[in-house]
Structure 1
Amino acid sequence: MTTSGDVVAQLRAAGCVFAEDEARLLTAAAAQTGADLADLVAQRVSGTPLEYLLGWTEFRGIRVAVTSGVFVPRQRTAFLVDQAAELARVMPAQPVVVDMCCGSGALGLALATTLAAEGRPIELAAADIEPTAVECARRNLTPIGAHVYEGDLFEPLPRALCGRIDILLANTPYVPSEMISRMPPEARDHEPRIALDGGPDGLDIFRRVVAAARTWLAPGGHLLVESSQAQARPAITVLTTHGFTGRIAESDEHYATVVIGTKPNT
């Protein structure tokens, strides 16, 4: 019989920093699902992300469903949602929001939940190229009335959204290709590479988004993308080349950098 002390000891030996918390969560998951606790612990020790074993992660105070093979939302990305919420608060009623490269749909869900609590509804859609991500995002977003589309960037979105998007959340892959091998095993070995690899400088997908975004954004609409500090200035150059006004927002608390592009009003 596996005891709580055994679980904590195994997790500590595997290098889990928050072994006590993980032991508690795994024990609860086993009890709720009928899974074998020893098997869950063995998978965790082998490097399987905790979120996959639990079937959820907490993001910005919300429990978000996450399944194996789907990008796990990073806590630092809460800063991107914070920036989007600030922009939405000064917009007309019910801004149109798209969560692109949505993964689990965590960003759109967090933004919609935050603004709904303030009496500020949004019209939300999401898209991802990965079928597994789309299925997961639908679990999270369909209950709040959002549609999730499967396809490459803007391609699957309904044409009715063209020129109407007020806020585009595009958490594009931004890890340079040669850096993938240096990522923690949890991400490198378990998350889909397409959700991580941003090309030689990490900005390949970002460039594609920016190139099409001006057509899809409403006048005065905003594009928000997470990046590294080193990528932020090159990203601003990409934005200005395509006629956007660009700025950089940084958070020491979240260790996060967000690049924001704004489409001219005319």
Structure 2
Amino acid sequence: MTSTTETATAGTDQTVNNTTGTQEPVSPVSENETTEQQTEASNTESASPKKAALPKPTVHKVDYEKDTVYLYQFPRCPAIVSTSPFCLKVETWLKMNDISYENVDFKTSVKSKKGQLPFVELNGKEIADSDIIIRDLSKHFDKDLDSGLTAEQKTVSHAFVSMLNNHTSWVVRWWRYSNPQKYIESAKMDLKRAVNTKLPAPVVGFLFKLEFKQNVKHVVGHGLGHHSEEEIYEFGRSDLKSLSD
């Protein structure tokens, strides 16, 4: 006969064997392996990620002040604030709206990404083209010089602006390109400073006039240059009369 103690012992052994058979075997890990894994994990955690390269500045004024407009335009002349009607337009708009701005003395060494002057920088962003500058700054500073106009008056205003930008300004260009010496004298322009060069003044004057004469082809390409001198003058007089009436 089997004793009660033996039966109990046998039952216990069977239970252990069955339990062991239904479980996944656990492989024993040596002390050395455990240490190596811990060391590897520690090294992985302590390794610092590589710092990403800082992007290159997209503006010229990197130490800008918030909401200060940095204006890039042609150099001042004794006879006029700016010889460019588009630069003059932007600066006048800034003054009329009492917006903080700074004229950047960049020695005509840079132009906008579009290859134009004027352009401005605001809060690390470049804005080029006088109309786009005024549009974007109007939105940013919540300024609207036309807010008091009726719909009809705004339409007339838009027509005049388009005339000045796309017609009258070309009359001015034609006169300048055709008469570079008169242009220099009337503006009392310091050519060496205007073009930022150390060349002798006579050489600068010769090259400046030569380039201006070559620019007449742009006026021809626009269409205005195909007309006679008197016809072009009449175009300009008509534009000015329309503005004054």
Q: Which TM-score applies when normalising by structure 1?
A: 0.25
Structure holding more helix per residue? 2
Query: Which protein shows a greater Rg?
Result: 2
Structure holding more strand per residue? 1
Q: Which TM-score applies when normalising by structure 2?
A: 0.26
